[in-house]
Amino acid sequence: MRSFAYQAPHDIETAIAAAAFKPDEKVPTRAGTQYIAGGTNLIDYMKLGVARPERLIDVNQLAEPELRLIEVDAGGLRLGALVRMADAEEHHDIKRDYPVIAESLRLAASGQIRNMASLAGNVLQRTRCEYFRETSWACNKREPGSGCAAMGGVNRQHAVLGVSDACIATYHGDFAQALIALDAIVEAQGGNGRRKIAFADLHRRPGDTPHVETNLAPDELIVAISVPAGPWTRRSRYLKVRDRESYAFALASAAVALDLDGEKVRHARIALGGVATVPWRAREAEQALEGEALDEASAARAADAAFAAAQPHDHNAFKIPLGKQTLVRALLETRDMKV
C-alpha cells in the first residue's frame, strides 16, 4: 500500500475544509482526497493499488448527531450517512414500513461487512469488475483511455443496461436499488453549502468517462439519505438472485414497491440490480403496469419493457431472461404480501 496523509476531524465543516486543502498547503487542491467511513470497499482497492488517495479524511469521528440518526415519521424516513448497514436493517420501523430497504441491506453482504459499512459508503461502492480490480489489465474506469479488457474478456458478471463503448461494468450494490425505486433524496454538504440530490441523479452512466462515477463534487460529503413516505412503501420487497445464497453479488435483482387498488396497479416503483451500470429505475416497466391488473401476463409484459434496450456481450446474455424472471417473481410476490 502507498503512503498517504490521514486526518480524523470532529465536525463536518472541518472535514470539508480538510478535503479541500492539503495540510501543508494554503491553496485548495482536491485531487487525491477521499473520505473514508467503514472502509470496506476503499481499503480493498487501496491494497490492490486501484485506489491511490493522497489523503484520507476519516469521517468516523464526526460529532454531528444527524449523521447517526434513523428517523421515521409520517413524512418518510431519514437515515444519517454514518448509520451502519446492520443498524438500519434491524430497525423495527424500517422493517415494517420500508421492507424493501431492510431486505436490500440484509442481502447485501456478510454480517461482518454490514456491521462496519456505512450507508453512504455503501451507495458509493465501486464496481467489482475483475479487470478494474487487477491493475495489469486495460480499464477505462481505472486508467481513462486505456481500453476495456472486459469487452473481449470474460464478461459474465457485466451489465446489459446503461452500457457504453467505454465500459460495461455492473453497479453491484443492493441498497441503492431500494433507494432509487423509492425516489430517495441524498443530502450532501461541500464547500458551497448543503444541497439535495435526487438519488436517480447521484450516479452517472459510464458514457465516455466511466472514471467519473457520481455527480458529487470532490469535497462533497453525503450527510443523510431521505425516503419520502408513499402508499407503496409497505408493500415492497427486494429479490436477489446470485450464484450462491450468501456473500455474493447479484446476477439479477429487483426492488419493487406497489400501490394496489384490488388487483389493479395504481403506482409501481421498480428498480433492477446486477444488470446495469448504475442503480437502475425501470420506468418503462412501471408504465406498462400502471392501471393494469397484476398477474403473470402483465408482469411478463413489464419485464419485457424493462429489458427492451438491453445490450448483451459474449457471456452475459443469460442476464436478460434471468432479469425478466426475477422481476416477474418479485412483482407477484410483492402483490401477494400481507400488509
* Choice between 123 and 129, CB closer to ligand SF4: 129
Per CB under 6 A, the list member of 122, 127, 236, 334 interacting with ligand SF4 is: 127
Shortest Å distance, C-beta 213 to ligand SF4:
10
* Choice between 78 and 158, CB closer to ligand SF4: 158
What does the DSSP 8-state code read for residue 21?
B
Could you say whether residue 161 binds ligand SF4 (CB under 6 A)? no
Cell numbers describing residue 265: 396497479
Per CB under 6 A, the list member of 15, 56, 88, 169 interacting with ligand SF4 is: 169
77 contacts: CB under 8 Å, gap ≥ 6: 70, 71, 93, 94, 97, 98, 101, 226, 227, 229
Shortest Å distance, C-beta 266 to ligand SF4:
39
Could you say whether residue 275 binds ligand SF4 (CB under 6 A)? no
Could you say whether residue 253 binds ligand SF4 (CB under 6 A)? no
Alpha-carbon span 321 to 306, nearest angstrom: 11
Cell numbers describing residue 34: 477521499
Could you say whether residue 45 binds ligand SF4 (CB under 6 A)? no
Alpha-carbon span 118 to 178, nearest angstrom: 16
Shortest Å distance, C-beta 160 to ligand SF4:
12
* Choice between 169 and 320, CB closer to ligand SF4: 169
HSE at residue 42, side-chain half, CA atoms within 13 A, is 21
Could you say whether residue 57 binds ligand SF4 (CB under 6 A)? no
Contact 141, 167 (CB under 8 A): yes
* Choice between 98 and 132, CB closer to ligand SF4: 132
**Exposed/middle/buried for 25, CB within 10 Å: 0-12, 13-18, 19+?**
exposed
What is residue 82's three-state secondary structure? coil
Per CB under 6 A, the list member of 132, 232, 238, 249 interacting with ligand SF4 is: 132
Residue 303: how many other CB atoms lie within 10 Å: 27
Alpha-carbon span 157 to 126, nearest angstrom: 14
Shortest Å distance, C-beta 134 to ligand SF4:
9
Could you say whether residue 168 binds ligand SF4 (CB under 6 A)? yes
Site for ligand SF4 in 141-160 (CB under 6 A): 141, 148-150
Could you say whether residue 140 binds ligand SF4 (CB under 6 A)? yes
Per CB under 6 A, the list member of 210, 274, 279, 323 interacting with ligand SF4 is: 210
Could you say whether residue 131 binds ligand SF4 (CB under 6 A)? yes
* Contact pattern from residue 76 through residue 115 relative to ligand SF4, giving x for each residue in contact according to CB under 6 A and a dash for the rest: ----------------------------------------
What's the length of the chain? 339
Amino acid at 224: A
Could you say whether residue 276 binds ligand SF4 (CB under 6 A)? no
168 vs 125, 155, 295, 328, CA distance in Å?
Answer: 16, 8, 33, 25
What does the DSSP 8-state code read for residue 169?
P
Binding site for ligand SF4 (CB under 6 A): 127, 129, 131-132, 139-141, 148-150, 167-169, 210
